[in-house]
Amino acid sequence: MSNGSGRIEKVSVVISKGSLEGIYPGLIMANGARAEGMEANVFFTFFGLDAVHRARHEHIKLATVGNPGLHLATWAGGLPGVSSVMTHYMAQKMEHLDIPPIPEMVEMIAQSGAGLYGCKASADLFGLEKSDLIDEVRDIITVGEFYEAAAGGQIIFT
């Protein structure tokens, strides 16, 4: 939703990937929206649920196979240990820039008043219940309920 001046007042961010570079852009967009006083919702679907999964959210890795942004041959990205090394390297760089780790950033976004939601279809697909997700997730909702929550705002798919 925007007011007469064209200012965006509400965003809903969809996070569908479970890798470092798949989760951070959506979290940064949601955090930025809240910092600018916008209403924000984050909808975690498919492997994006890993960002709010109790057992996985602290173990998100950088995807190194077939990631053109790394300028690394596909075969090299698949070598044992490359993903861990690259993830550690990125984590150090982000820490130097004061970008919090994913669990801390998710908590910060939730505390700012953003709505965090898991996708029902994805949760059903992976056999997940609300208790499998971190406490900051308000609910597991259907796509229709997500559209209801997103109504009048911009939807950003990362």
Domains and CATH numbers, the chain: 10-58+101-157 (3.40.1260.10), 65-99 (no CATH)
pLDDT(106) > 90: yes
Residue corresponding to tokens 């997500």: 146
Phi, psi of 93 (to 5 degrees): -65, -40
- How long a stretch of residues is the chain? 158
Give the separation between CA 101 and CA 153, rounded to whole angstroms. 28
**pLDDT cut 90: percent of the chain above it:** 66
The model's pLDDT over 115-136, given as tens digits with 9 standing for 90+, comes to 999 999 999 999 999 999 999 9
CA distance 39 to 1: 9
Is pLDDT above 90 for 85?
Answer: no
Q: CA 87, CA 61: separation in Å to the nearest integer?
A: 6
Q: What's the rounded Cα separation, in Å, for the pair 61 and 90?
A: 10
Question: What pLDDT score was predicted for residue 4?
Answer: 59
pLDDT of residue 83: 77
Q: How confident is the model at residue 61 (pLDDT cuts 50, 70, 90)?
A: confident
State which H helix or E strand residue 107 sits in: helix 102-111
pTM: 0.86
